[in-house]
Amino acid sequence: MADCLFCRVVAGAQPAARVLEEEHCVAFLDTRPLFPGHVLLVPRDHHVTLADLPRELVEPLFTTAQRLCRAVQAAQDAPGAFVAMNNVVSQSVPHLHVHVVPRRPKDGLRGFFWPRRKYTGSEEMEEVAAAIRGALRP
């Protein structure tokens, strides 16, 4: 898609500091990193969300994310990493991408970036769990 920033990066039409290129995906440094070494991993083909990603691409994408996680930690001498993706909400570019961010204790990144809300009780929790189980059925 010509109007997609990440499709242009994959095609080489948009400059990027590439760190990895594989058959199904490309990884490059985020231009607005949380910390140096913040990498974005994208599928070569345009898919907006994880739900849109064809099943046969899930394993290669996440195996590569795992490799990148190890590499980012080693290259940045970081003891940990934050690996995440947004789907539609807070997704700045509508092309599936996995963030791999090096982490250190007391680095200033505070877990999740939104407030947590507890369930009102075990009944609400079970209702939510039952709804998800129902949605998982074919």
Structure tokens that stand for 57 in this block: 């691409």
Q: Residue length, the chain?
A: 138
Would residue 47 show up in a list of annotated catalytic residues for this protein? no
- Among residues 38, 95, 97, 99, the one annotated as catalytic is 97
pLDDT digits (tens, 9 = 90+) for 36-87: 999 999 999 999 999 999 999 999 999 999 999 999 999 998 999 999 999 9
Chain-centroid distance, C-alpha 26:
13
pLDDT at 110: 74
Domain 5-136, classified CATH 3.30.428.10, yes or no? yes
Give the domain ranges of the chain: 5-136
Q: Does pLDDT of 113 surpass 70?
A: no
Strand locations in the chain, DSSP E?
18-21, 25-29, 39-43, 80-84, 98-103
Q: Does pLDDT of 115 surpass 70?
A: no
Question: CA nearest 68: which of 107, 25, 32, 10?
Answer: 25
Higher model confidence: residue 39 or residue 125? 39
